[in-house]
Structure 1
């Protein structure tokens, strides 16, 4: 359950606060502002809406004038000093409509302001689309740089999830999707809290509640708890986390920096922390819940569009995004707050979307990081996307002297592959070693924290051939490492769904390909890239048991017959880079010295049943789905097996770069006398530094140059 902290929760302080009015604004310029009318399509004012801000320490606030539900929406704009208005406003977090309208967010922002309007008192909010002159790049850059302070100083962050889709069809507010979803969130949190209390954890969660306009305060049904995996309430909970708001990049810092946040969906309101906590609970208990979801089809339509259809066991992206935001936010009080380097943040937020690709960088600058790289980057909307990415790469290299960001290189956007059924060419204006952070890529193979099973090049310090800034300017990055052999065969990843089962003669397949315990263990490690479904490194024995459990159930047999894995299996007790038999014995492998090539030690179906005891095939399926989405399986010239970028081709080279935890795939670029960085890979045989210590491999400088072709 993780480290938990006690706290009291007063729902009345989190929802419906400040009804009596908003603190007085301290304006820095003229107090009387022209009235303007907001509609779904435009803002009509009698004079220009924007005047020049006195300095970077000023910002605009939007005053929503009181009015009845059917009255026109009237507002005033105020120019105010940031330091004089701490806590005097609420910040609005919402989703821009596609196409980036020049002044608002279209209908969605209009409906949010309409929903927030009070009948008898004004309301003061900060809404980025209106309070920043979007037509002025210089002002946009300046205001985005100060957005962290704007969010931290807001009295509340109001999360507008949109209108309730049931509002026009369902008259009873309690029976609408928003109410059912919020009730489900309350039930999940309450059940988790009760379980924690029964386990004698020091936890005081309080009673999760939500509020409906005109109906008052409600809580979740006690009968719809976390353990009711087949409950129809899950469909509504999934509908909640599938709201577009959960995919917007800007909401990450809007939640992470908020002192308080209130989620509003139609007529319903609830503290956002319950939504974030529920996402964390569901994610942790995913394997208990997902069978019920799949059985009732509740998951349909809520998976990322770039995933294969059979990836139904993966946590929906909106829920993962909510979990991520919760774990890095000031709002969460039950777990340790997570902190990441700026490069890690860029990778962990790749699935979030923004209209302007430069905002992939600028939208995260307000967040605290472990390496403070963001303090070296200033928003500049006058610069091109390639220019922004170059500045980020230069800042990472110069300030950290670390090459971990190379693991974030993925040249193929998985969303585009799924959408167009083809590989979209990468940006040719960037060198291959600078990540294209706007691409949706697979989960990074290198772990966030150092681990002895991911130490391919960590026994040597990272080395650069040229000065960091010169390397960036020249589009060439010289790194030191060892060059291994080439890729001889590749294969696409087969289905990971339990609906695909093998019904042939298992013993015939095992004998035909000479599979031994050792070869199956290496195959298991390659398929899952050495990690569990949770993304953490996993021990070899447990991985083999899980894989065997899958095979016994008739799943993943395609992996035994692939060209990339089915030829030239190494003998038991030895491997290509000299790992000792002692390390194999520790994992329970055969020690008779015989191997597949001599016909001895071949695994049978009965052997698999014995090996599978204690294993969990479903967890292994999830691990494979997580590791292999957007990747290809490959075999090297010396029969090492691995998983690498989807762009991997026969003839590519494997290398280990000093100072990095995983190997990489590179491709010769003769015209520029260097190599294109294709991306990171996982090869079980060299993850402990074997290649670095092997005198048979060439130590050399590797020049990483142009974009992939």
Structure 2
């Protein structure tokens, strides 16, 4: 479409809005070298609100013409063009940014086709900075303006039409970003320590490989010595505090950025008024995060000190999670030729990324998946209820041989309006579910409660939202703790983690109370409970990159648990008043290391609490919302058992998932015997 093609539309709308054609004046603008600028006798604030004209075909998109200015403080002026992606007449730049909040008090006023429009402050800031780059018109694609963000106060018919068009436009996002001549990634305001990140990026790939501990190309000690020879931040640098805040800028965990960065022909990073090339993320940000991890490992595991440097410790606490997200973003771009299923992408996205609209957690990945016909099978639909999408994703994964995965990452029996096995789009990343990968197996097969049994499932014959699996009802639960461990989402700072040490005191008190209800001697029962608290898993020293192992397979497991019991028992006594408050344990370096190893495994306790199984009389680590008489069920082909809750309707008995459970003593197939008592279990 020509540059003036939208003028008749604008005139028609303006005449309709204002009622008089003589309110519109078309004059020549020497300032902008644009003979078709729309000028009005009234201020922008008093003009009609910009409204969208529907696109003409499913291949059309809107492109913004951003007018230049010699006054950097002047109003942002835009014109909207309709363009066909199959027959583009103009090259455009797409913007990857974070929306932020848009409310009446914070929206930024811009001129759009001569009318007033409001955009998010983040987008407004990006447009102002992009406008400074060139003294000519630039053609821009930005979702907040190019996709109709229908107002809630419009009629239902208008909202439905806008949402229908939005669904089509969102399903085209991969095409929009891959067709863009350039993608500008806006990382927000100025960053004072940008020169430090530039020094990381200046190191050659071959040189950096010599300190890449994670890749196995260097030892920790050699890496430390090599890094000292480069002009980078050392462990005492204030850079690490500022870097922690930098990677907490929301772009790094916005789910859409995976696709926007991965598919961009030529990505450019914009930090304040500074621009950096596409290697900035991999060679500057990611390398700085790797350096921080090396410093953390060195001081925590190998320095001989029992107390970690506060700056490095806190910085690593905040950066480590973001580091994984950054790795996922970089990996997706570097492995575009590698086939990736939707479930594999979804696993990473729901673990490390988020979205304002939870539907986008799924929709943002459709253009990256290699699943055949995924856009037809898992189509974008913004008129669909979130609970329906939740179930539809789980049904899709079941059809695609990933059915075990949503069982572990499901909504659960919280809202009766949701299918309990529908996928939880708000992943809290707590506890045992994190052990389960896209193919429904625990990492490194650490558990195998179902033995060699294969996964068998089918959609329910009785209920539209049901799933029938095969499995064994093993036991029920009783005597649950009243307190539970925090969720991952509640652990915002290192002090939050320290506060959760109170859980151990509550756990010990529960152990004392319950010990008399089971046959083992108290000391032996308490030992098994300490193993249960961390799901019998630990991360021994020196194993960076090696992952966790079962405590039963670790030579020093008993020593580690004895140290934990000693510390917790003394703290418990102190809380009961039998020890003075000033009492502190003097721990040897070995004991301090053992205590750290145990605490590292609390990730499997998150969102859970202790309970006792009724028949087996063994400790269990159950979901926070488990109840007495809930059933312990091993599903055929699933390595970790589930807690299921019984319900009845006019069609008979069915179950709803509560969550997964660690049951001490049955995690390696001990409970299923010869498997002869396997039965159909209907879940909804």
Q: Same fold (TM over 0.5)?
A: yes
- Choose 61-70 or 288-297, whichever is displaced more: 288-297
Q: CA deviation at 1:50?
A: 3.0
Does residue 80 (structure 1) correspond to residue 83 (structure 2)? The answer is yes
Residue 682 (structure 2) aligns with: 703
Residue 129 (structure 2) aligns with: 115
Residue 188 (structure 2) aligns with: 162
Change (3 A) 1:640 1:616: same
Structure 1 residues 501-558: Cα deviation after superposition (integer angstroms, max 9, x where no partner): 999xx9xx99984249984894476154899987955254665637845764888736
Q: Which runs of 5+ in 2 are unaligned?
A: 11-36, 108-116, 151-161, 218-226, 301-306, 487-495, 574-584
2 CA distance for matches of 1:479 and 1:700? 8
**C-alpha RMSD of matched pairs (Å):** 4.8
Q: CA deviation at 1:627?
A: 1.9
Q: Would you tell me which structure has more helix in proportion to its own residues?
A: 2
Structure 1 residues 460-491: Cα deviation after superposition (integer angstroms, max 9, x where no partner): 23333545xx67x6332221101111123434
Q: CA deviation at 1:384?
A: 1.4
Residue 613 (structure 2) aligns with: 636
Structure 1 residues 616-653: Cα deviation after superposition (integer angstroms, max 9, x where no partner): 653542332x2222222333232434433222233221
2 CA distance for matches of 1:198 and 1:133? 48
Structure 1 residues 52-94: Cα deviation after superposition (integer angstroms, max 9, x where no partner): 2121111111121222323332222221111333992221011
Q: CA deviation at 1:144?
A: 0.5
- Choose 525-534 or 485-494, whichever is displaced more: 525-534
Change (3 A) 1:130 1:104: farther
Residue 477 (structure 2) aligns with: 487
> Where do 1:632-671 residues align within 5 Å?
632-637=609-614, 638-670=616-648
- Choose 544-553 or 75-84, whichever is displaced more: 544-553
2 CA distance for matches of 1:318 and 1:404? 24
Q: CA deviation at 1:112?
A: 0.6
Residue 154 (structure 2) aligns with: none
Residue 579 (structure 2) aligns with: none
Structure 1 residues 277-317: Cα deviation after superposition (integer angstroms, max 9, x where no partner): 556553696374276997445776x8xxxxxxxxx847554
TM-score of the superposition, structure 2-length normalised? 0.69
Q: CA deviation at 1:145?
A: 0.8
Q: CA deviation at 1:153?
A: 1.9
Residue 549 (structure 2) aligns with: 538
Does residue 325 (structure 1) correspond to residue 313 (structure 2)? The answer is no
Structure 1 residues 290-348: Cα deviation after superposition (integer angstroms, max 9, x where no partner): 76997445776x8xxxxxxxxx8475544433232222224x79xx9794543761564
> Where do 1:243-642 residues align within 5 Å?
243-271=249-277, 273-276=279-282, 280-281=286-287, 282=289, 286=293, 288-289=295-296, 295-297=309-311, 313=317, 315=319, 317-330=321-334, 339-342=340-343, 345=346, 348-350=349-351, 352-369=353-370, 373=374, 376-400=377-401, 402-411=403-412, 426-442=414-430, 444-448=434-438, 450=441, 451-457=444-450, 459-464=452-457, 466=459, 474-491=464-481, 492-493=484-485, 497=498, 513-515=522-524, 519=528, 522-523=531-532, 526=535, 528=537, 536=547, 538-540=549-551, 543=554, 545=556, 548-549=559-560, 552=563, 557=568, 617-624=595-602, 626-637=603-614, 638-642=616-620
Contact 1:247 1:353 in 2 (8 A): yes
Q: CA deviation at 1:27?
A: 5.8
SS in 2 for 1:485: strand
Q: Which runs of 5+ in 1 are unaligned?
A: 1-25, 165-177, 204-219, 303-311, 412-424, 563-604
Change (3 A) 1:546 1:297: farther
2 CA distance for matches of 1:527 and 1:548? 14
> Where do 1:160-199 residues align within 5 Å?
160-164=186-190, 178-181=191-194, 183-184=196-197, 186-187=199-200, 190=203, 194-197=207-210
TM-score of the superposition, structure 1-length normalised? 0.67
SS in 2 for 1:654: strand
Change (3 A) 1:687 1:119: same
Contact 2:633 2:641 in 1 (8 A): yes
Change (3 A) 1:195 1:357: closer
SS in 2 for 1:409: coil
Contact 1:463 1:658 in 2 (8 A): yes
1 CA distance for matches of 2:329 and 2:310? 28
2 CA distance for matches of 1:189 and 1:550? 47
Change (3 A) 1:369 1:646: farther
2 CA distance for matches of 1:477 and 1:113? 49
Does residue 137 (structure 1) correspond to residue 117 (structure 2)? The answer is no
SS in 2 for 1:159: strand
Counterpart pick for 1:231 among 220, 237, 253: 237
1 CA distance for matches of 2:45 and 2:332? 36
Contact 1:500 1:555 in 2 (8 A): no
SS in 2 for 1:622: helix
Structure 1 residues 17-75: Cα deviation after superposition (integer angstroms, max 9, x where no partner): xxxxxxxxx769937686579xxx99998896532212111111112122232333222
Does residue 681 (structure 1) correspond to residue 658 (structure 2)? The answer is no
SS in 1 for 2:656: strand
Change (3 A) 1:496 1:184: same
Contact 2:197 2:285 in 1 (8 A): no
1 CA distance for matches of 2:376 and 2:548? 32
Change (3 A) 1:632 1:133: same
SS in 2 for 1:116: helix
Structure 1 residues 211-230: Cα deviation after superposition (integer angstroms, max 9, x where no partner): xxxxxxxxx9976636x233
2 CA distance for matches of 1:499 and 1:436? 25
Q: CA deviation at 1:127?
A: 0.2
